[in-house]
Amino acid sequence: MAVTDEAIEKIKGMIVSGALRPGDRLPKESELAADLGLSRNSLREAVRALSLIRILDVRQGDGTYVTSLDPQLLLEALSFVVDFHRDDTVLEFLAVRRILEPAATAMAAVRISEQQLDALTAQLDKLGEAPSVEDLVACDLEFHRGIVHSSGNSVLCSLLDGLSGPTTRARIWRGLTQEDAVARTLREHRAILAALRDRDAEAARSWATVHIASVEQWLRSTL
Amino acid sequence: MAVTDEAIEKIKGMIVSGALRPGDRLPKESELAADLGLSRNSLREAVRALSLIRILDVRQGDGTYVTSLDPQLLLEALSFVVDFHRDDTVLEFLAVRRILEPAATAMAAVRISEQQLDALTAQLDKLGEAPSVEDLVACDLEFHRGIVHSSGNSVLCSLLDGLSGPTTRARIWRGLTQEDAVARTLREHRAILAALRDRDAEAARSWATVHIASVEQWLRSTL
DNA sequence: ATGACCTGATACGTCGGAGGTCTTGAACGC
DNA sequence: GCGTTCAAGACCTCCGACGTATCAGGTCAT
């Protein structure tokens, strides 16, 4: 195994074992390199790799730190990976999202605060009746993000965030080519919100399912 | 932005845009470094980072290649990230798994082949009535992996693979401390398998939910 | 002619050192 | 007390050299 890979494993080990805790500062490059028995250049490769997936946070002029290791932060790296998938796997991502999103929406129905409900309402109101496709999709992302956040599960939240990215392009495309897509999306958002206000988890789940299934169905018929 | 980060973005761009396709070989380090306008050392940091998340495959003495970019391969990197999460977030991972696994099991009920069913049966038979905890957990992973694979959604499959890792430790712990956990797990596996043989998606979903919920419940009461 | 073996070219792996740039915090002057 | 300046510390980038693994092509014995 290459010395760099060993260094990655050793640093990972130090974090997993608790020798390094979130927020801790690592020894400076030259010292850490000496400790781990490799050159500064090779160590930097290891640090850079761990930095890409948000395990380490490198600040020039300051030092290298262990990140908070929050699920949100670590799963953020997921979206980077997801970006590489080609359109032919979008359907599979969408299928996974169709499983998670309704569940998250149902969870939110029993937990969401009045304040958040008002914020979601305001958000939909602000968008108006005939928004541009780009605005709609951006609002769509925010709307669902807000709901999922209220599910209270940060892993679920981050996962859906990562999965929603690649389907965004598809939805923009849809908005541009399918006439009633915009109006339909607006109606479904209102329905989901109404179900949340009623604290009706099953209704919320169903509307979320319908909402995503409509995108899925359209995409399947188009490809 | 640092030159290395630029290089990462540029390489990513080359892949996403299709200039580099899965399996393609990259120019040699010195050339690519010259093309991208940075030093070989800095480029190596970029390549190493992309290699960690399985975007690139570096072979000493040969060259650097773009991987297949299969969802399976890319989401494999997820398990690396998940390893860093501490025990206090295991419950959240388990909650997500409780959403995905039943859905995957239900999907498998209508797609799984007779051959696969026989393989799962043989697997359970081989384990016997009173397996060691380690064997049981290993078999548990294989059992669910086999079922999820039959769901036909490789993204779902890889995602569950990544999520199952961190809960493994918890399950071993449970097996060691909860008396009837082993017998219960064996019974539930048989029940899931029976539902799959009956092509009963709803029964399969329910048994899978019960199966995971039992782990979740125990863990919640313990923490 | 065929096969194993050897060898050179090629490309990645590792290293040490030299400047450069950015952040931080203390010393300084107002 | 407050803002400015400056120097130390840490990461950033680069260069050149050498080590090591892989592969292809040639050599030689069978």
pLDDT of residue B65: 98
Both A218 and A156 in one domain: the answer is yes
- The whole-angstrom distance between residue B44's C-alpha and the CA centroid of its chain comes to 28
- The whole-angstrom distance between residue B132's C-alpha and the CA centroid of its chain comes to 24
Percent of chain A at pLDDT above 90? 64
- Distance from C-alpha of A148 to C-alpha of A168, rounded to nearest angstrom: 17
Both B61 and B81 in one domain: the answer is no
Tokens at residue B57, please?
Answer: 């495959």
- Residue B47 CA, nucleotide C4 C1', distance (Å): 37
Domain that holds residue A137: 72-222
Tell me, yes or no, if B100 comes closer than 8 A to chain A by beta carbon: yes
Both B124 and B97 in one domain: the answer is yes
**Which strand (E) or helix (H) includes residue A167?**
helix A154-177
Band of residue B109 on the pLDDT scale cut at 50, 70, 90: very high
Tell me, yes or no, if B159 comes closer than 8 A to chain A by beta carbon: yes
pLDDT of residue B170: 66
CB contacts under 8 A, A 161-220 vs B, are none
Both B154 and B55 in one domain: the answer is no
Both B197 and B87 in one domain: the answer is yes
Contacts of A74 in chain B (CB under 8 A): 81-82, 84-85
CATH of the domain at A202: 1.20.120.530
Both A189 and A94 in one domain: the answer is yes
Across all strands, nucleotide nearest B1 (CA–C1'):
D12
What are the two backbone dihedrals, phi and then psi, of residue A56, each rounded to the nearest 5 degrees? Answer: -115, 155
Both B52 and B148 in one domain: the answer is no
Both B62 and B76 in one domain: the answer is no
Please, what is the angle between helix A29-36 and helix A3-16, to 10°?
Answer: 100
Among A62-71, B84-93, B144-153, whose mean pLDDT is lowest? B84-93
CATH of the domain at A27: 1.10.10.10
pLDDT tens-digit map of B128-182:
877 887 888 888 889 999 999 999 999 999 999 888 876 676 666 666 667 777 8
Among A66, A81, A105, where does a domain finish? A66
Both B127 and B194 in one domain: the answer is yes
Tell me, yes or no, if B86 comes closer than 8 A to chain A by beta carbon: yes
- Distance from C-alpha of A176 to C-alpha of A95, rounded to nearest angstrom: 22
pLDDT tens-digit map of A24-36:
999 999 999 999 9
Domain count, chain A: 2
**Mean pLDDT confidence for A122-146:** 86
Both A88 and A19 in one domain: the answer is no
CA distances from B65 to B5, B16, B50, B166 (A): 19, 15, 11, 30
Closest Cβ opposite residue A52 in set B8, B86, B153: B8
Strand C contacted by B63 CB (< 7 A)? yes
Q: Is the pLDDT score of A44 beyond 80?
A: yes
pLDDT of residue B199: 97
Contacts of B15 in chain A (CB under 8 A): 84
Among A66, A91, A108, where does a domain finish? A66
pLDDT tens-digit map of A82-97:
888 877 788 888 899 9
**Mean pLDDT confidence for B98-125:** 96
Tokens at residue B45, please?
Answer: 């940091």
Percent of chain B at pLDDT above 90? 64
Among A46, A66, A86, where does a domain finish? A66
Both A141 and A47 in one domain: the answer is no
Asked whether A143 and A120 are in contact (CB, 8 A), the reply is: yes
- Distance from C-alpha of A148 to C-alpha of A58, rounded to nearest angstrom: 31
- Taking CA atoms, what residue in B is nearest to A2? B60
CB contact under 8 A, A153 and B84: no
Both A42 and A99 in one domain: the answer is no
